[in-house]
Structure 1
Amino acid sequence: MRRLPTICFSLLAMLLGIDHSFVSADEATCVVASVQPIATNAGINTYHSGGNAVDAAIATAMTLGVVDNHNSGLGGGCFILIRTPDGQIHAIDGREMAPSAATADMYLRDGKADTELSQTGPLAVAVPGALAAYAHALRSHGEKTLADVMLPAAKIAEEGFAVDKIFARKLESKKDLLAAFPATRDQLLKSDGSPYQTGDTLRQSDLAKTYRSIAVNGEKWFYEGPFAQTIGSWMHQNGGIVTAEDFANYRIKLRQPVVTDYRDWKIVGFPPPSSGGCHVSQMLNILETFDLAAMHQRDPAQAKHVVIESMKRAFADRAYHLGDADFSRVPKALIDKAYARDLAKQIDIQKSTDVSKQGDPFAFGDELFGKHTTHIAAADSDGYWVAITATVNTTFGSKVIVPGTGLILNNEMDDFSAQPGVPNAFGLIGAENNAIAPGKRPLSSMSPTIVLDRRAKPIMTVGAAGGPKIITQVLLALIRTLDYGDDLQAAVAGPRFHHQWRPDSVLVESKMGDEIIDRLKKFGHVIKTTSSSGITQAIRIDDDGNLIGVHDPRVPGKVGYGFRKVAAVKN
């Protein structure tokens, strides 16, 4: 049967009241996937008004800073991967930076790291970079202005939105910490101090004013003007060390992506201070030495065992070798094929083995890398592919909103190694390469990823949220689609498992099933179960050339399909 023209199809869907999330992707010219339907709609509306996938992704990110600000926002940072129609791939580092007054021992009290100081309150805050990265992406690759993507989000902040069950649960879990900071309490809790419930309308008037001020005055208002001065003054009065000068000195970094060959594909990831690009590539290089597809077909538990063993070795290396490559010696040999083969030889396919320490990638070359979270995936038919992972770190970041700004500030200082061997909020251990230093960017697990085929054409973009589980979620999505042939929905929905070296245990989603879990125990793995582990968003081209998006079914996100010249999608 002949297909209806795109515009007719789209208008018919809208007249019938059909949500674009469930409309066929045939002939869609843009796809956006995010964790929040209102944000996805903002991205699609931006595309409909003449933007491209870059504009759509940035609009989605800006709106997430309103409706999902327990995860991300302009008080935090991001990594952006963009593949442009001419085949170029751009890596924009909007990671937060340590203030100029930061010191390696700033969290030590009586010789021991006080992790409460690095996780909550003014000392936990690093200089945010998200706005600088978004503004650069729009200028360099978009069709829209900051005002175009910020004013609709400001309207949502001012008029309010219905709190979803995820937001309500986060408010309930952190209500006492949020109440400790007056402006945070005023903006995010009810007048009696109780948290908003599912379905309640949350209005954020101060946040709306901040968004509008940026829209009118540009990013300099944020980094060099009244906003920075307000933050610096409050910090000085409340025991923080971030200054207006720190804001003025913030710069994005344009990085060289990490590119590795994996069987018939090229995997493009983000370089340090992301650990994701390195270690996704490292684990894939290890797994490439095994016939993973045949093993999975023959014995799924054994295939999972081998993947777990690769995770252990990669995370041991992460703990010791990774850091901001502008400050630390981060070996490129971490993604060397010969080093991966050496690690693969250490894996016993019949039993778990102890990994007592990191490997020695310097033996395979001395070249160095050049000096709670959300993920947005977007792609369009013109050839723009976008992967943005953004964060304020843990839920509601530092819990600090400076009066008058409405903006949750990050607690990314906790992603540094406050003291060698002391775990951070995610249980991750760091070493000297990730020690605190002025102007340094903390190590991150954010792993925005783009997959190219043998012709260097993009076929997939994927990323995740969930602290260190980001890295293993991206790995699982890749091997399930590329090795096992799963469709994208099954790859994202399938039960996950995660090992980060220390503690020496495997976190497994309970829906994995008792049979597989028992088999993993027989391999010698210590198993801990959880109901849900992380959140992934992805887009892929199907066999017919259609763009197919998937949001993680573990949360009420949304995939939006864009069709040119249609009316706005209703929230």
Structure 2
Amino acid sequence: MRIDRREWLRCSAAAVASLPAMLRAQSPPAVTGGVEHVASGSRGAIATVSEIATRAGLRVMEEGGNAVDAAVAAALMLAVVDGGNSGLGGGCFILARGVHGEVVAIDGRETAPAAAHGRMFFRDGRPDPSLSQTGALASGVPGAVAAYHRLSEELGTGRWRSAALAAAEQAAEGFPIDARYAARIASSAERLGRFEGSRKVFFDADGEPRKAGERLVQPDLAVTLQELASDGPDAFYRGRMAELTARWMQENGGMITEEDFRHYRIRHREPVESAFADHRILGFPPPSSGGIHVAQILGMLKRFDLASMYDEDPIAYYHVVAEAMRLAFADRAVWLGDPAFADVPRGLLDEEYLDKRSAMIDPEGRIPVVTAGGPPGVGVDLFGRLPRHTTHLTAADEAGNWVAITATVNTTFGSKVVIPGTGVVMNNEMDDFAIAPGVPNAFGLIGTEANAPAPGKRPLSSMSPTMVLRGDQPVLSCGAAGGPRIITATAQIVLRALALDEPLATAVAAPRIHQQWRPNELWVEQRLDQRIVDGLAQLGHSIRRSSGLATAQAIAITEFSGAEAGQITAVAEPRADGHAAAY
């Protein structure tokens, strides 16, 4: 039976009338527990998930480096202090703008080994998801090192060696494990404990998982970083790292070989561009699904007066946003994959197609059944065919360098494997392939043959480094960590900044929702007012509560930051221990 939302609202008119003012006051303070989540400066700014990494990036800028140098230094430092989320054994997508206006999209996504095949995760005729999530078969060939080095070479000022040495020094010196890091180790202890290299790093002399307050020293990782400082990516892809990894894989039933390392190449991609609220939106193209689906969500919401809706009827605002998410993720499941192997239609961003999808959204009721659409140009007009866990960091400087990097090893501590002698946590990105049609991965996402494993193929990703420009000038960049929630968190930050005219700190901190089509549930953060949650349930949404949906970092200039004129403002995620700094 269809719910009469108008009748329900009439019965709740007094409560609903008070929601807009309450919502405007819901954002948490910028500073929590002594951690700086917001920082503004006239010369440069950076935000990461770690205070140590943020300080490393800021120090580079203070010493004369640019925002690109700062971002690379922070990314390498995160490999040391935040190895459960990203690192040398993972991959990344980079969206960056140089001082002359050039925009680069560097694809450092992991690739499947040459021996990969469509039934590699089957046992006794049935798919076994544990094989794609833990152990030797779970890892793709890492791409982060090659991508960071290419970014440094193209847009930096020659500070690769000093950045790698600073990270090596931190690994050798160690750092105190905080409660959040200790909780990650504890939650992964059973699987980490299966592997000798992981036990050496994350367990103490008594064989117990390391606890908060202990100092985590990583001498093997320090040596690997020193080699990167001396010899660049060759030390990783043609040196000791490749040799030790291939040997371990052979001994433990894996597929990655030294040849796989030697053959790894980053890819330069053409950014996905769309328009929203008189601004240009740049996102990352396939094999990221993020750029396309952030653009789809924004495109489907263009026809709504979102600011008025939010002020007058916030239930309707959250409802239409959720429905746009649902429609985008239905397309993701069918159409998205590595464009070198799958036909990904450009028509997914066709304005007429998005208008048709948008017309399905009813502000007064949930779409009964959602399926993937039929975009124009299927099989003809395609994205460039070429012959939880994650982190996002962003940096900008007064000269006009802007960088957004989303990096990952996939789930916490990736495959749970540290290659002995290297200190490197290996990813489990093979789980981002569709190991079998209809079989969900660790994030509940399903896929088709377009995202099936194949030699050299890059698994579909939700990473969504995003840049907003007014004309040719960047005014905002953002991205997030959190599997498929990356897409929806990024879209909501852009919506709040551009459509609701909220300061960046408010846009990042505001309560989030998430809908990914399958499973057919609407996730809402616990801070979202219960009256809104009840209203969404009345509209037919199946509600799931969450303490936090994604971890985001963002940067904006004065127009969106609420700071003084001429300031660059960095905002780190207040839901986590993110840290922003500026000068």
Query: 4+ residue runs of structure 1 moved beyond 6 angstroms?
Result: none
SS at match of 2:496: helix
Q: C-alpha separation between the residues in 2 aligned to 1:426 and 1:547?
A: 34
For 1:523-538, list aligned pairs within 5 A: 523-538=539-554
Instruction: Please give the TM-score of this superposition, normalised by the length of structure 2.
Output: 0.91
Q: Does 1:37 align with 2:59?
A: no
Q: Does 1:257 align with 2:246?
A: no
Partner residue, 1:125: 139
Contact kept in structure 2, 1:76 and 1:409, CA below 8 Å:
yes
Contact kept in structure 1, 2:71 and 2:393, CA below 8 Å:
yes
Q: 1:157 to 1:346 in 2, by over 3 A?
A: same
Q: C-alpha separation between the residues in 1 aligned to 2:412 and 2:48?
A: 17
SS at match of 1:214: helix
Contact kept in structure 1, 2:338 and 2:458, CA below 8 Å:
yes
In structure 2, what residue type is equivalent to 1:484?
L
Where do 5+ consecutive residues of structure 1 fail to align?
1-18, 563-571
Q: Does 1:25 align with 2:46?
A: no
Aligned-residue offset at 1:354 = 2.9
Show CA shifts across 1:500-553 (max 9, x none): 000111011011021110010011100000111110000000141310110011
Contact kept in structure 2, 1:313 and 1:355, CA below 8 Å:
no
Q: C-alpha separation between the residues in 2 aligned to 1:258 and 1:302?
A: 29
SS at match of 1:387: strand
Instruction: Give the one of 328, 331, 334 matched to 1:314.
Output: 328
Q: C-alpha separation between the residues in 2 aligned to 1:299 and 1:513?
A: 13
Where do 5+ consecutive residues of structure 2 fail to align?
1-33, 560-564
Partner residue, 2:392: 375
Q: C-alpha separation between the residues in 1 aligned to 2:317 and 2:193?
A: 47
In structure 1, what residue type is equivalent to 2:573?
D
Instruction: Please give the TM-score of this superposition, normalised by the length of structure 1.
Output: 0.93
For 1:33-72, list aligned pairs within 5 A: 33-72=47-86
Aligned-residue offset at 1:198 = 2.0
Q: C-alpha separation between the residues in 1 aligned to 2:35 and 2:421?
A: 37
Q: C-alpha separation between the residues in 1 aligned to 2:571 and 2:549?
A: 17
Q: C-alpha separation between the residues in 2 aligned to 1:26 and 1:223?
A: 38
Out of 351-360 and 276-285, give the one that drifted further: 351-360
Partner residue, 2:29: none
Instruction: Give the one of 148, 151, 169 matched to 2:165.
Output: 151
Q: C-alpha separation between the residues in 1 aligned to 2:126 and 2:518?
A: 20
Partner residue, 1:93: 107
Partner residue, 2:262: 248
Out of 191-200 and 481-490, give the one that drifted further: 191-200
Instruction: Give the one of 204, 208, 228 matched to 1:190.
Output: 204
Aligned-residue offset at 1:297 = 1.5
Q: Does 1:169 align with 2:183?
A: yes
Q: C-alpha separation between the residues in 1 aligned to 2:38 and 2:152?
A: 29
SS at match of 1:464: strand
Q: Does 1:502 align with 2:518?
A: yes
Instruction: Give the one of 399, 413, 416 matched to 2:430.
Output: 413
Aligned-residue offset at 1:440 = 0.4
SS at match of 1:399: coil
Partner residue, 1:16: none
Aligned-residue offset at 1:147 = 1.4
Instruction: Give the one of 186, 202, 218 matched to 1:204.
Output: 218
Out of 384-393 and 229-238, give the one that drifted further: 229-238
The share of aligned pairs that are identical, in percent, is 49
Instruction: Give the one of 564, 567, 571 matched to 1:546.
Output: 567
Contact kept in structure 2, 1:312 and 1:355, CA below 8 Å:
no
Q: C-alpha separation between the residues in 1 aligned to 2:360 and 2:40?
A: 45
For 1:413-452, list aligned pairs within 5 A: 413-452=430-469
Q: C-alpha separation between the residues in 2 aligned to 1:73 and 1:120?
A: 17
Q: C-alpha separation between the residues in 2 aligned to 1:126 and 1:22?
A: 34
Partner residue, 1:266: 280
Q: 1:483 to 1:250 in 2, by over 3 A?
A: same
Q: Does 1:557 align with 2:578?
A: yes
SS at match of 2:376: helix
Give the number of equivalent residue pairs: 542
For 1:99-110, list aligned pairs within 5 A: 99-110=113-124
In structure 1, what residue type is equivalent to 2:499?
D
Contact kept in structure 2, 1:332 and 1:366, CA below 8 Å:
no
In structure 2, what residue type is equivalent to 1:512?
L
